[in-house]
Structure 1
Amino acid sequence: MIALLSDLGLAITLFASTNLDDLFVLIGFFSDSRYRPRQIAIGQVLGLAALVLASLAGALLSLVVTPAWLGLTGLVPIALGSSRLLALRSGAEDEAPGEPAGLGTVLAVAAVTVANGGDNIGIYTPVFATASGPRLLLIVAVFAAMVALWLGLAHWLVHHPALGAPIRRIGRVATPFVLIGIGVMVLVEAGTLSWAPGWVSAR
Protein backbone atom coordinates (compact mmCIF):
# COMPACT_ATOMS: atom_id res chain seq x y z
CA MET A 1 0.00 0.00 0.00
CA ILE A 2 2.83 2.39 0.87
CA ALA A 3 4.53 1.64 -2.47
CA LEU A 4 1.25 2.24 -4.31
CA LEU A 5 0.73 5.59 -2.60
CA SER A 6 4.35 6.52 -3.33
CA ASP A 7 3.94 5.70 -7.04
CA LEU A 8 0.64 7.57 -7.12
CA GLY A 9 2.27 10.61 -5.56
CA LEU A 10 5.14 10.39 -8.04
CA ALA A 11 2.77 10.28 -11.03
CA ILE A 12 0.72 13.23 -9.78
CA THR A 13 3.84 15.27 -8.99
CA LEU A 14 5.44 14.39 -12.33
CA PHE A 15 2.41 15.51 -14.32
CA ALA A 16 1.71 18.63 -12.28
CA SER A 17 5.31 19.86 -12.26
CA THR A 18 5.80 19.40 -16.00
CA ASN A 19 2.42 20.76 -17.07
CA LEU A 20 1.96 23.72 -14.78
CA ASP A 21 2.71 26.14 -17.59
CA ASP A 22 0.32 24.22 -19.83
CA LEU A 23 -2.46 25.01 -17.37
CA PHE A 24 -2.08 28.69 -18.21
CA VAL A 25 -2.03 27.91 -21.92
CA LEU A 26 -5.37 26.18 -21.45
CA ILE A 27 -6.69 29.19 -19.57
CA GLY A 28 -5.79 31.27 -22.61
CA PHE A 29 -7.64 28.93 -24.95
CA PHE A 30 -10.73 28.81 -22.75
CA SER A 31 -10.71 32.60 -22.64
CA ASP A 32 -10.82 32.77 -26.45
CA SER A 33 -14.36 32.57 -27.83
CA ARG A 34 -13.02 31.06 -31.08
CA TYR A 35 -12.24 27.82 -29.25
CA ARG A 36 -15.00 25.55 -28.00
CA PRO A 37 -14.40 23.48 -24.83
CA ARG A 38 -14.70 20.15 -26.68
CA GLN A 39 -12.15 21.23 -29.29
CA ILE A 40 -9.74 22.32 -26.57
CA ALA A 41 -10.17 19.01 -24.73
CA ILE A 42 -9.53 16.90 -27.84
CA GLY A 43 -6.50 18.96 -28.82
CA GLN A 44 -5.04 18.75 -25.32
CA VAL A 45 -5.48 14.97 -25.20
CA LEU A 46 -3.87 14.55 -28.63
CA GLY A 47 -0.92 16.76 -27.72
CA LEU A 48 -0.17 15.09 -24.40
CA ALA A 49 -0.67 11.63 -25.93
CA ALA A 50 1.99 12.49 -28.51
CA LEU A 51 4.41 13.53 -25.75
CA VAL A 52 3.77 10.37 -23.73
CA LEU A 53 4.16 8.10 -26.78
CA ALA A 54 7.43 9.78 -27.69
CA SER A 55 8.66 9.27 -24.13
CA LEU A 56 7.59 5.61 -24.15
CA ALA A 57 9.50 5.08 -27.40
CA GLY A 58 12.58 6.51 -25.76
CA ALA A 59 12.03 4.32 -22.73
CA LEU A 60 12.30 1.21 -24.95
CA LEU A 61 16.03 1.87 -25.02
CA SER A 62 16.05 0.47 -21.50
CA LEU A 63 15.74 -3.00 -23.06
CA VAL A 64 19.23 -2.75 -24.51
CA VAL A 65 20.92 -0.18 -22.27
CA THR A 66 22.13 -0.77 -18.70
CA PRO A 67 19.74 0.98 -16.27
CA ALA A 68 22.60 2.81 -14.54
CA TRP A 69 23.65 4.32 -17.87
CA LEU A 70 20.05 5.19 -18.70
CA GLY A 71 19.78 6.83 -15.31
CA LEU A 72 22.11 9.53 -16.61
CA THR A 73 19.07 10.93 -18.43
CA GLY A 74 17.97 12.04 -14.98
CA LEU A 75 20.45 14.85 -15.50
CA VAL A 76 17.99 16.34 -18.02
CA PRO A 77 15.29 17.36 -15.51
CA ILE A 78 18.04 18.46 -13.14
CA ALA A 79 19.45 20.70 -15.88
CA LEU A 80 15.98 22.00 -16.78
CA GLY A 81 15.15 22.69 -13.15
CA SER A 82 18.50 24.40 -12.59
CA SER A 83 17.99 26.49 -15.73
CA ARG A 84 14.54 27.56 -14.57
CA LEU A 85 15.90 28.32 -11.13
CA LEU A 86 18.64 30.54 -12.60
CA ALA A 87 16.06 32.25 -14.81
CA LEU A 88 13.90 32.82 -11.75
CA ARG A 89 16.81 34.37 -9.86
CA SER A 90 17.68 36.62 -12.79
CA GLY A 91 14.06 37.64 -13.25
CA ALA A 92 13.83 36.24 -16.78
CA GLU A 93 10.35 35.47 -18.11
CA ASP A 94 9.39 32.55 -20.35
CA GLU A 95 7.84 33.50 -23.63
CA ALA A 96 4.27 32.31 -24.16
CA PRO A 97 3.83 30.07 -27.20
CA GLY A 98 1.89 31.56 -30.07
CA GLU A 99 -1.00 30.02 -31.91
CA PRO A 100 0.10 28.16 -35.09
CA ALA A 101 -1.32 29.76 -38.19
CA GLY A 102 -3.45 27.86 -40.67
CA LEU A 103 -4.44 24.97 -38.38
CA GLY A 104 -7.90 23.97 -37.21
CA THR A 105 -8.77 24.67 -33.62
CA VAL A 106 -8.19 21.09 -32.47
CA LEU A 107 -4.82 20.81 -34.22
CA ALA A 108 -3.89 24.27 -32.98
CA VAL A 109 -4.39 23.21 -29.36
CA ALA A 110 -2.51 19.94 -29.96
CA ALA A 111 0.38 21.72 -31.69
CA VAL A 112 0.73 24.29 -28.91
CA THR A 113 0.59 21.52 -26.29
CA VAL A 114 3.41 19.61 -28.02
CA ALA A 115 5.52 22.73 -28.57
CA ASN A 116 5.00 23.92 -25.01
CA GLY A 117 5.75 20.48 -23.57
CA GLY A 118 8.61 19.39 -25.80
CA ASP A 119 11.06 19.40 -22.89
CA ASN A 120 8.73 17.04 -21.02
CA ILE A 121 10.01 14.17 -23.17
CA GLY A 122 13.42 14.49 -21.55
CA ILE A 123 11.78 14.27 -18.14
CA TYR A 124 9.26 11.48 -18.82
CA THR A 125 11.67 9.17 -20.66
CA PRO A 126 14.00 8.37 -17.74
CA VAL A 127 11.06 7.91 -15.37
CA PHE A 128 9.27 5.57 -17.79
CA ALA A 129 12.48 3.69 -18.54
CA THR A 130 13.17 2.90 -14.88
CA ALA A 131 9.55 2.02 -14.03
CA SER A 132 8.17 -1.52 -13.83
CA GLY A 133 5.19 -2.55 -15.97
CA PRO A 134 2.51 -2.03 -13.28
CA ARG A 135 4.09 1.25 -12.21
CA LEU A 136 4.16 2.47 -15.81
CA LEU A 137 0.49 1.62 -16.28
CA LEU A 138 -0.34 3.51 -13.09
CA ILE A 139 1.57 6.58 -14.26
CA VAL A 140 -0.19 6.60 -17.65
CA ALA A 141 -3.60 6.14 -15.96
CA VAL A 142 -2.88 9.01 -13.57
CA PHE A 143 -1.78 11.16 -16.52
CA ALA A 144 -5.12 10.49 -18.23
CA ALA A 145 -7.02 11.50 -15.09
CA MET A 146 -4.84 14.58 -14.62
CA VAL A 147 -5.56 15.74 -18.17
CA ALA A 148 -9.26 15.79 -17.33
CA LEU A 149 -8.52 17.59 -14.06
CA TRP A 150 -6.32 20.15 -15.83
CA LEU A 151 -9.05 20.89 -18.36
CA GLY A 152 -11.67 21.28 -15.66
CA LEU A 153 -9.40 23.43 -13.50
CA ALA A 154 -8.44 25.72 -16.38
CA HIS A 155 -12.09 26.15 -17.35
CA TRP A 156 -12.96 27.01 -13.74
CA LEU A 157 -10.07 29.46 -13.38
CA VAL A 158 -11.20 31.35 -16.46
CA HIS A 159 -14.20 32.45 -14.39
CA HIS A 160 -11.93 33.45 -11.49
CA PRO A 161 -9.16 35.48 -13.15
CA ALA A 162 -8.03 36.96 -9.82
CA LEU A 163 -6.64 33.55 -8.83
CA GLY A 164 -4.29 33.40 -11.83
CA ALA A 165 -1.59 35.74 -10.48
CA PRO A 166 -0.90 33.98 -7.15
CA ILE A 167 -1.00 30.53 -8.80
CA ARG A 168 1.52 31.68 -11.41
CA ARG A 169 3.85 33.05 -8.72
CA ILE A 170 3.75 29.81 -6.73
CA GLY A 171 4.36 27.73 -9.86
CA ARG A 172 7.40 29.72 -10.92
CA VAL A 173 9.02 29.19 -7.51
CA ALA A 174 8.10 25.53 -6.93
CA THR A 175 8.58 23.98 -10.39
CA PRO A 176 12.42 24.25 -10.59
CA PHE A 177 12.84 22.45 -7.27
CA VAL A 178 10.35 19.73 -8.23
CA LEU A 179 12.18 19.08 -11.52
CA ILE A 180 15.53 18.83 -9.75
CA GLY A 181 13.99 16.44 -7.22
CA ILE A 182 12.64 14.20 -10.00
CA GLY A 183 16.06 14.10 -11.66
CA VAL A 184 17.77 13.10 -8.42
CA MET A 185 15.13 10.39 -7.87
CA VAL A 186 15.83 8.94 -11.32
CA LEU A 187 19.59 8.88 -10.65
CA VAL A 188 19.04 7.11 -7.34
CA GLU A 189 16.48 4.56 -8.58
CA ALA A 190 18.54 3.67 -11.66
CA GLY A 191 21.59 3.04 -9.48
CA THR A 192 23.62 5.70 -11.26
CA LEU A 193 24.72 7.33 -8.02
CA SER A 194 26.24 4.00 -6.96
CA TRP A 195 29.00 4.73 -9.45
CA ALA A 196 30.13 7.71 -7.39
CA PRO A 197 32.32 5.72 -4.93
CA GLY A 198 34.06 4.07 -7.91
CA TRP A 199 34.74 7.42 -9.53
CA VAL A 200 36.19 8.78 -6.28
CA SER A 201 38.38 5.70 -5.66
CA ALA A 202 39.59 5.79 -9.29
CA ARG A 203 41.03 9.19 -8.61
Structure 2
Amino acid sequence: MARIVEADRTERPQRPERTERTLDASPALIAIATAAYVSTNVDGYALLLGFFSNERYRAMEIVAGQFISVVTQVALSIAVMRSGWVTQSPLVGLAGVVPLFAGLKRIAQLRRRDEPQNESGTDRWTSARGTGGRVATVAVVATSGAIDNVMVYSSVMVGRATSDVLLIAGTFGLLTSLLCLCAFWTAGSRSSIPALQFAARRIAPYTTAAIGVSLFIRFDTFPWLYSLA
Protein backbone atom coordinates (compact mmCIF):
# COMPACT_ATOMS: atom_id res chain seq x y z
CA MET A 1 0.00 0.00 0.00
CA ALA A 2 2.83 2.38 0.83
CA ARG A 3 4.38 1.79 -2.57
CA ILE A 4 1.09 2.51 -4.34
CA VAL A 5 0.63 5.77 -2.43
CA GLU A 6 4.19 6.82 -3.27
CA ALA A 7 3.62 6.00 -6.94
CA ASP A 8 0.46 8.10 -6.99
CA ARG A 9 2.28 11.04 -5.43
CA THR A 10 5.02 10.91 -8.04
CA GLU A 11 2.55 10.76 -10.94
CA ARG A 12 0.26 13.62 -9.88
CA PRO A 13 2.69 16.52 -10.47
CA GLN A 14 3.11 15.42 -14.11
CA ARG A 15 -0.44 16.34 -15.11
CA PRO A 16 -0.06 20.14 -14.97
CA GLU A 17 3.02 19.81 -17.19
CA ARG A 18 0.95 18.29 -20.00
CA THR A 19 -1.64 21.05 -19.73
CA GLU A 20 1.08 23.67 -19.68
CA ARG A 21 2.64 22.23 -22.82
CA THR A 22 -0.74 22.26 -24.56
CA LEU A 23 -1.27 25.90 -23.62
CA ASP A 24 2.22 26.78 -24.81
CA ALA A 25 1.56 25.09 -28.15
CA SER A 26 -1.75 26.91 -28.71
CA PRO A 27 -0.29 30.22 -30.01
CA ALA A 28 1.89 28.36 -32.51
CA LEU A 29 -1.06 26.26 -33.68
CA ILE A 30 -3.24 29.36 -34.04
CA ALA A 31 -0.48 31.01 -36.09
CA ILE A 32 -0.26 27.96 -38.37
CA ALA A 33 -4.04 27.84 -38.80
CA THR A 34 -4.16 31.58 -39.52
CA ALA A 35 -1.44 31.30 -42.16
CA ALA A 36 -3.27 28.40 -43.83
CA TYR A 37 -6.59 30.26 -43.83
CA VAL A 38 -5.23 33.57 -45.09
CA SER A 39 -3.17 31.99 -47.86
CA THR A 40 -6.19 30.09 -49.18
CA ASN A 41 -8.76 32.90 -48.95
CA VAL A 42 -7.20 35.77 -50.88
CA ASP A 43 -9.40 34.98 -53.88
CA GLY A 44 -12.32 34.37 -51.48
CA TYR A 45 -11.97 37.95 -50.31
CA ALA A 46 -12.32 39.19 -53.89
CA LEU A 47 -15.39 36.98 -54.30
CA LEU A 48 -16.98 38.40 -51.14
CA LEU A 49 -16.38 41.91 -52.40
CA GLY A 50 -18.35 41.06 -55.50
CA PHE A 51 -21.25 39.66 -53.49
CA PHE A 52 -21.35 42.53 -51.01
CA SER A 53 -21.36 45.03 -53.89
CA ASN A 54 -24.36 43.23 -55.43
CA GLU A 55 -27.54 44.90 -54.17
CA ARG A 56 -29.58 41.73 -54.67
CA TYR A 57 -27.74 40.00 -51.84
CA ARG A 58 -28.24 40.88 -48.19
CA ALA A 59 -25.25 40.94 -45.89
CA MET A 60 -26.56 38.15 -43.66
CA GLU A 61 -27.21 35.94 -46.70
CA ILE A 62 -23.61 36.35 -47.81
CA VAL A 63 -22.24 35.73 -44.32
CA ALA A 64 -24.43 32.63 -43.88
CA GLY A 65 -23.34 31.24 -47.24
CA GLN A 66 -19.68 31.87 -46.45
CA PHE A 67 -19.94 30.10 -43.10
CA ILE A 68 -21.68 27.13 -44.69
CA SER A 69 -18.83 26.95 -47.17
CA VAL A 70 -16.18 27.05 -44.44
CA VAL A 71 -18.00 24.42 -42.36
CA THR A 72 -18.17 22.21 -45.45
CA GLN A 73 -14.47 22.67 -46.12
CA VAL A 74 -13.54 21.87 -42.51
CA ALA A 75 -15.80 18.79 -42.52
CA LEU A 76 -14.19 17.54 -45.73
CA SER A 77 -10.73 18.24 -44.30
CA ILE A 78 -11.52 16.23 -41.16
CA ALA A 79 -12.92 13.40 -43.31
CA VAL A 80 -9.74 13.30 -45.37
CA MET A 81 -7.63 13.37 -42.23
CA ARG A 82 -9.67 10.63 -40.51
CA SER A 83 -9.60 8.43 -43.58
CA GLY A 84 -5.90 7.85 -43.04
CA TRP A 85 -5.05 9.02 -46.54
CA VAL A 86 -3.17 12.00 -45.14
CA THR A 87 -0.14 10.84 -43.20
CA GLN A 88 3.29 12.20 -42.46
CA SER A 89 4.97 10.79 -45.58
CA PRO A 90 6.56 12.24 -48.74
CA LEU A 91 3.76 10.72 -50.79
CA VAL A 92 1.24 13.07 -49.16
CA GLY A 93 3.15 16.07 -50.48
CA LEU A 94 2.08 15.05 -53.97
CA ALA A 95 -1.30 16.53 -53.04
CA GLY A 96 0.43 19.86 -53.56
CA VAL A 97 0.24 19.17 -57.29
CA VAL A 98 -3.44 20.23 -57.21
CA PRO A 99 -3.02 23.77 -55.85
CA LEU A 100 0.33 24.16 -57.65
CA PHE A 101 -1.18 23.29 -61.03
CA ALA A 102 -4.28 25.41 -60.34
CA GLY A 103 -2.13 28.39 -59.36
CA LEU A 104 0.18 28.10 -62.37
CA LYS A 105 -2.80 27.72 -64.69
CA ARG A 106 -4.42 30.87 -63.31
CA ILE A 107 -1.12 32.76 -63.54
CA ALA A 108 -0.94 31.83 -67.22
CA GLN A 109 -4.50 33.10 -67.71
CA LEU A 110 -3.86 36.48 -66.10
CA ARG A 111 -2.62 38.02 -69.33
CA ARG A 112 -5.64 36.78 -71.25
CA ARG A 113 -8.35 37.63 -68.70
CA ASP A 114 -8.40 41.12 -67.28
CA GLU A 115 -12.14 41.67 -66.89
CA PRO A 116 -13.32 42.67 -63.38
CA GLN A 117 -14.27 39.84 -61.00
CA ASN A 118 -17.62 41.50 -60.37
CA GLU A 119 -18.55 40.96 -64.02
CA SER A 120 -17.26 37.42 -64.46
CA GLY A 121 -17.65 36.09 -60.92
CA THR A 122 -20.85 37.19 -59.22
CA ASP A 123 -23.15 38.94 -61.69
CA ARG A 124 -23.94 35.60 -63.34
CA TRP A 125 -25.48 34.44 -60.04
CA THR A 126 -27.99 37.30 -59.74
CA SER A 127 -30.83 35.04 -60.92
CA ALA A 128 -30.97 33.29 -57.52
CA ARG A 129 -34.30 33.95 -55.84
CA GLY A 130 -35.29 33.84 -52.19
CA THR A 131 -33.08 33.99 -49.14
CA GLY A 132 -32.39 30.26 -49.22
CA GLY A 133 -31.44 30.38 -52.88
CA ARG A 134 -29.04 33.27 -52.39
CA VAL A 135 -27.43 31.68 -49.32
CA ALA A 136 -27.00 28.42 -51.24
CA THR A 137 -25.52 30.33 -54.18
CA VAL A 138 -22.87 31.98 -52.02
CA ALA A 139 -22.06 28.64 -50.37
CA VAL A 140 -21.76 26.78 -53.68
CA VAL A 141 -19.66 29.45 -55.36
CA ALA A 142 -17.35 29.77 -52.34
CA THR A 143 -16.93 25.99 -52.07
CA SER A 144 -16.60 25.15 -55.76
CA GLY A 145 -12.96 26.20 -55.98
CA ALA A 146 -11.89 25.15 -52.50
CA ILE A 147 -10.16 21.83 -53.17
CA ASP A 148 -6.83 23.44 -52.38
CA ASN A 149 -8.32 24.72 -49.10
CA VAL A 150 -9.37 21.20 -48.12
CA MET A 151 -5.93 19.77 -48.87
CA VAL A 152 -4.16 22.49 -46.93
CA TYR A 153 -6.53 22.30 -43.94
CA SER A 154 -6.28 18.51 -43.74
CA SER A 155 -2.49 18.69 -43.86
CA VAL A 156 -2.56 21.16 -40.96
CA MET A 157 -4.88 18.91 -38.94
CA VAL A 158 -3.06 15.64 -39.56
CA GLY A 159 -1.57 14.10 -36.43
CA ARG A 160 -3.36 16.59 -34.16
CA ALA A 161 -5.40 15.75 -31.10
CA THR A 162 -9.14 16.36 -31.11
CA SER A 163 -8.69 19.47 -28.96
CA ASP A 164 -6.21 20.86 -31.50
CA VAL A 165 -8.60 20.19 -34.38
CA LEU A 166 -11.35 22.03 -32.50
CA LEU A 167 -8.97 24.93 -31.88
CA ILE A 168 -8.14 25.08 -35.60
CA ALA A 169 -11.83 24.98 -36.51
CA GLY A 170 -12.58 27.74 -34.01
CA THR A 171 -9.76 29.84 -35.46
CA PHE A 172 -11.22 29.38 -38.94
CA GLY A 173 -14.60 30.51 -37.64
CA LEU A 174 -13.16 33.68 -36.13
CA LEU A 175 -11.16 34.43 -39.27
CA THR A 176 -14.26 33.91 -41.41
CA SER A 177 -16.09 36.52 -39.32
CA LEU A 178 -13.20 38.95 -39.78
CA LEU A 179 -13.03 38.21 -43.51
CA CYS A 180 -16.74 38.92 -43.97
CA LEU A 181 -16.55 42.05 -41.83
CA CYS A 182 -13.56 43.36 -43.76
CA ALA A 183 -15.21 42.67 -47.14
CA PHE A 184 -18.46 44.27 -45.98
CA TRP A 185 -16.64 47.36 -44.74
CA THR A 186 -14.61 47.65 -47.93
CA ALA A 187 -17.70 47.23 -50.11
CA GLY A 188 -19.09 50.39 -48.49
CA SER A 189 -16.51 52.32 -50.49
CA ARG A 190 -17.39 51.18 -53.98
CA SER A 191 -14.61 53.19 -55.57
CA SER A 192 -12.00 50.88 -54.03
CA ILE A 193 -13.66 47.59 -55.00
CA PRO A 194 -12.33 47.28 -58.58
CA ALA A 195 -8.78 47.99 -57.48
CA LEU A 196 -8.96 45.50 -54.60
CA GLN A 197 -10.54 42.83 -56.77
CA PHE A 198 -7.86 43.35 -59.39
CA ALA A 199 -5.11 43.08 -56.77
CA ALA A 200 -6.68 39.99 -55.20
CA ARG A 201 -6.99 38.31 -58.60
CA ARG A 202 -3.33 39.01 -59.21
CA ILE A 203 -2.18 37.76 -55.80
CA ALA A 204 -4.44 34.71 -55.40
CA PRO A 205 -2.84 32.53 -58.13
CA TYR A 206 0.60 33.04 -56.62
CA THR A 207 -0.58 32.17 -53.11
CA THR A 208 -2.33 29.06 -54.45
CA ALA A 209 0.85 27.94 -56.19
CA ALA A 210 2.83 28.71 -53.02
CA ILE A 211 0.49 26.41 -51.07
CA GLY A 212 1.37 23.57 -53.41
CA VAL A 213 5.08 24.20 -52.99
CA SER A 214 4.68 24.40 -49.19
CA LEU A 215 3.10 20.92 -49.15
CA PHE A 216 6.06 19.57 -51.11
CA ILE A 217 8.42 21.16 -48.60
CA ARG A 218 6.52 20.19 -45.45
CA PHE A 219 6.37 16.49 -46.30
CA ASP A 220 9.93 16.37 -47.78
CA THR A 221 8.53 15.41 -51.16
CA PHE A 222 11.24 17.13 -53.19
CA PRO A 223 14.09 15.02 -51.70
CA TRP A 224 11.92 11.91 -52.07
CA LEU A 225 11.32 12.61 -55.78
CA TYR A 226 15.02 13.32 -56.24
CA SER A 227 15.89 9.94 -54.68
CA LEU A 228 13.61 8.21 -57.18
CA ALA A 229 15.29 9.87 -60.15
For 2:102, the equivalent position in structure 1 comes to: 80
Q: Is the 8 A contact 1:78 1:179 kept in 2?
A: yes
Q: Are the structure 2 counterparts of residues 42 and 20 from structure 1 closer, same or farther at C-alpha, using a change threshold of 3 Å? A: same
Q: Are the structure 2 counterparts of residues 102 and 39 from structure 1 closer, same or farther at C-alpha, using a change threshold of 3 Å? A: closer
Listed as ranges, the matches of 1:159-198 within 5 Å are 159-198=188-227
Q: Is the 8 A contact 1:187 1:193 kept in 2?
A: yes
Equivalent in 18, 21, 42 of residue 64 of structure 2: 42
Task: For residue 44 of structure 1, give the secondary structure of its aligned residue in structure 2.
Answer: helix
Q: Is the 8 A contact 1:12 1:143 kept in 2?
A: yes
The AA in structure 1 aligned to 2:135 is V
Listed as ranges, the matches of 1:108-119 within 5 Å are 108-119=134-145
The AA in structure 1 aligned to 2:107 is L
2:150 maps to 1:121: no
Q: Which one has a bigger Cα radius of gyration?
A: 2
The AA in structure 2 aligned to 1:133 is R
CA distance in structure 2 between the aligned counterparts of 1:159 and 1:114, rounded to whole angstroms: 24
The AA in structure 2 aligned to 1:167 is L
The C-alpha deviation readout for 1:148-170, integer Å capped at 9, x for no partner, is: 11221122112211221222232
The AA in structure 2 aligned to 1:71 is G
1:86: Cα distance to partner?
A: 0.7
Listed as ranges, the matches of 1:82-97 within 5 Å are 82-91=104-113, 93=115, 95-97=120-122
CA distance in structure 2 between the aligned counterparts of 1:78 and 1:55, rounded to whole angstroms: 18
CA distance in structure 2 between the aligned counterparts of 1:166 and 1:2, rounded to whole angstroms: 40
1:138: Cα distance to partner?
A: 4.1
The AA in structure 1 aligned to 2:174 is A
Q: Is the 8 A contact 1:76 1:123 kept in 2?
A: no
1:10: Cα distance to partner?
A: 4.0
CA distance in structure 1 between the aligned counterparts of 2:224 and 2:198, rounded to whole angstroms: 38
CA distance in structure 1 between the aligned counterparts of 2:74 and 2:133, rounded to whole angstroms: 17
The C-alpha deviation readout for 1:9-67, integer Å capped at 9, x for no partner, is: 44334323433333343334434444433333222211221122123222333357673
CA distance in structure 2 between the aligned counterparts of 1:61 and 1:84, rounded to whole angstroms: 30
For 1:18, the equivalent position in structure 2 comes to: 40
1:77: Cα distance to partner?
A: 0.9
2:180 maps to 1:151: yes
Question: TM-score scaled by structure 1?
Answer: 0.78
The AA in structure 2 aligned to 1:105 is T
Q: Is the 8 A contact 1:45 1:110 kept in 2?
A: no
2:130 maps to 1:104: yes
Mean Cα deviation higher: 69-78 or 55-64: 55-64
1:83: Cα distance to partner?
A: 1.0
Q: Is the 8 A contact 1:81 1:179 kept in 2?
A: yes
Q: CA RMSD in A?
A: 3.1
Task: For residue 62 of structure 1, give the secondary structure of its aligned residue in structure 2.
Answer: coil
Task: For residue 89 of structure 1, give the secondary structure of its aligned residue in structure 2.
Answer: coil
Question: TM-score scaled by structure 2?
Answer: 0.71
Q: Are the structure 2 counterparts of residues 86 and 7 from structure 1 closer, same or farther at C-alpha, using a change threshold of 3 Å? A: farther
CA distance in structure 2 between the aligned counterparts of 1:100 and 1:67, rounded to whole angstroms: 45
CA distance in structure 2 between the aligned counterparts of 1:190 and 1:120, rounded to whole angstroms: 21
Equivalent in 57, 69, 72 of residue 91 of structure 2: 69
CA distance in structure 2 between the aligned counterparts of 1:13 and 1:75, rounded to whole angstroms: 19
Count of residues paired in the alignment: 200
